Amino acid sequence: MQVRLQKFLAEAGVASRRASERLIVNGLVEVNGKVAKELGTKVDPDHDTVKVEGRPVKTRRKIYVALNKPGGFLSTRSDELDRRIVTDLLPKEWSHLHPVGRLDRDSEGLIFLTNDGDFTLRLTHPRFGVRKHYRAIVEGRVEPVMLRRFMEGVEHEGETLKAERARIVDANNSHSIVELELAEGKNREVRRLFESQNLMVERLQRTQIGPIRLGELPEGKWRALTDIEVKSLLKMSPAPASATASTAPVTSR
């Protein structure tokens, strides 16, 4: 069965579909020894030989992992300064997995890792609007009027930041606990929302992505997402044709 080349690359974990298209257009992909620059190129995964920058590409078993990221770890697959990264918390054979979206170095909580490029696109591209839930401990008292501003949208550093929902769990003159629900996930969005009100976030934890909750997963530990969980994430909005799931047979750690 033939599939589009960019779909094949995304499913092999090379890059997201959009990034794979750039690799093709830039002439970095070969099919059966010939450079393929056309986005409409199709390949048969069982018979064709595909290389990216001279390295063979093969389809991989799709793996979907939920991790409770501690503070101090970068949400990246490598770091030139040799700082701690999220894949340090996974088995060595999973070093090829990439984080699904960002979670700031100082932030904690739920993050997914996978080798499925389409899955990553579905959960990170703003057009799909996958909701993410956060719990923030903020220095100072948060007032209800601030949360109304968040839900209306505030301007910060040339961008409009917006929370879909927000509520105060507890508040006093020294600290406040606030829960927020966001749809876009712009860089440092929760922290910047509070910065727009001259407040600083002391601790930030992501507690939920779509229907998947952090639950009782211990800090620094991971578990495999189930088939049902992966399908529930992919069903949240119209999916790319290649968005199918097969959960890796692994146990919680």
DSSP 103-130: --TT-EEEEEEES-HHHHHHHHSGGG--
% of the chain surpassing 70 pLDDT:
93
Q: What is the mean pLDDT of residues 52-74?
A: 92
Q: Which two tokens stand for residue 197?
A: 């009100």
Domains and CATH numbers, the chain: 3-57 (3.10.290.10), 64-127+211-234 (3.30.70.580), 131-209 (3.30.2350.10)
pLDDT over 70 (residue 239): no
pLDDT band at 230 (very low <50, low <70, confident <90, very high): very high
Residues sharing a CB contact under 8 Å with residue 219, sequence separation 6 or more, in sequence order: 68, 70, 108
The single residue of 82, 104, 170, 227 carrying the catalytic annotation is 104
Distance, in Å, from the CA atom of 55 to the CA atom of 57, rounded to the nearest integer, reads 6
Residues sharing a CB contact under 8 Å with residue 116, sequence separation 6 or more, in sequence order: 10, 11, 13, 62, 63, 64, 245
Query: Average model confidence (pLDDT) for the chain?
Result: 90
pLDDT band at 244 (very low <50, low <70, confident <90, very high): very low
**pLDDT tens across 126-162, in order?**
888 899 999 999 999 999 999 999 999 999 999 999 9
One-letter amino acid of 135? R
**Residue 88 a catalytic site member:** no
Q: What is the mean pLDDT of residues 91-120?
A: 92
pLDDT band at 16 (very low <50, low <70, confident <90, very high): confident
One-letter amino acid of 130? V
At residue 98, what are phi and psi to the nearest 5 degrees?
-120, 150
